[in-house]
Amino acid sequence: MNHNRLLAYAHLVMASGYLVFTVVGPWAKRGESYGVFSSDGGTGFGIIGFIFAVILVMLAILRIIGRSEVLPGLGVEQLTLVIGVAAWLNLICFVVGWLPIFEYGEGRRRGVPGTGWGVVGAYFTVSQIPLLLSPLTLGIPSPSKGIKSLSETNRQVFSAMTIICGVGLICFPFLAWVTSGSVELSAFDGRNGNPTSGPRFGYLLFAIGVTLVIAGLMRLRPKGLTEPGPNLLLSHCLLGAAVLALTMPLGIIISCLQRSGLDIGIGTWLTLASCLALIGLVISENKTRNAVGV
């Protein structure tokens, strides 16, 4: 049994553990424990976590049976790395972004609801999946056959669109993300002694947006950017950033739809649109380059 197959079985074990913790364990504690799909538990982030868990298990099975391509220009290992990082960050966003929005208890016991053991177990299992993939996806000494270079026109178009999407991720978190009556909260609003709090995703989205703008500007140069690995292209990294950023507005949208008294702000919808546009862009680039991977 070679090291690739051992990594594939390790991937399956970790993905299965992540799925079990996600579904069985509680996500939030407010006197009682609430599960992944509850409006007081995992809410939208729990639903996204469950979907990611199913995808990661399916990708592990594909690796074991020797399947290399999932979508045109997107290999199993590449997609696993993207989903693995996004699933890991989705849990962090739930704990530090969505959960603190609501206070629990009264008097001296008033505070932020506690985190359930399902989230803790899911975090430690899913955080290992990107580490398992890094030696395989980044360390293969020779690139896959048939990876094509972008034409000058396509390179400029893809770069310009990346910059536009990055600017969207920089600007849109400043707008209203969650509204409750007359109160409008952006993705930058923290609690700071105030009983109301925004989701506080703005700092991360701002950083992702700045990175996308820099990457897009550097790709506009005649020689572009050096690919990060022989089988991990810049377009795969951009896909990872897009899926990662997508979990935040999508989690808010699903969560607000589950709860009464909360409405979805315009900034959430605009950020979602930027993320979807970037995902479509990089999938198109992957297909153009035929970057299947290992």
Residue-averaged pLDDT of the chain: 82
pTM of the model: 0.85
Q: Which of 38-47, 122-131, 145-154, 235-244 has the lowest mean pLDDT?
A: 145-154
| Closest to 237 (Cα-Cα) out of 173, 286, 271, 170 | 286
User: For residue 54, what pLDDT is reported?
Assistant: 95
Q: Are 213 and 170 spatial neighbours (Cβ–Cβ below 8 Å)?
A: yes
Summarised one tens digit per residue, pLDDT across range 8-38 is 788 888 899 999 999 998 988 877 777 888 8
Mean pLDDT of the region 125-143: 68
The larger pLDDT score, comparing residue 130 to residue 56, is at 56
The larger pLDDT score, comparing residue 56 to residue 42, is at 56
> Is pLDDT at 261 greater than 70 in this prediction?
yes
Confidence of residue 191 (pLDDT cuts 50, 70, 90): low
Summarised one tens digit per residue, pLDDT across range 157-168 is 888 999 999 999
Confidence of residue 132 (pLDDT cuts 50, 70, 90): confident
> Is pLDDT at 236 greater than 60 in this prediction?
yes
> Is pLDDT at 141 greater than 80 in this prediction?
no
Structural element, H or E, at residue 152: helix 152-171
Most confidently modeled of 3-12, 185-194, 259-268?
A: 259-268
Mean pLDDT of the region 176-192: 79
User: For residue 199, what pLDDT is reported?
Assistant: 81
- Report the distance separating Cα 52 and Cα 19, nearest Å: 9
The larger pLDDT score, comparing residue 14 to residue 72, is at 14
Q: 213 to each of 32, 149, 231, 260, 291, how far by Cα in Å?
A: 44, 21, 23, 37, 23
CB-based burial label for 115 (10 Å; 0-12, 13-18, 19+): middle
Pairing of strands 176-180, 183-186: antiparallel
Q: 5 to each of 33, 50, 260, how far by Cα in Å?
A: 38, 25, 48
User: For residue 263, what pLDDT is reported?
Assistant: 86
Confidence of residue 193 (pLDDT cuts 50, 70, 90): low
Summarised one tens digit per residue, pLDDT across range 75-121 is 788 888 889 999 999 999 888 888 777 665 554 556 667 788 888 89
Q: Are 25 and 121 spatial neighbours (Cβ–Cβ below 8 Å)?
A: yes
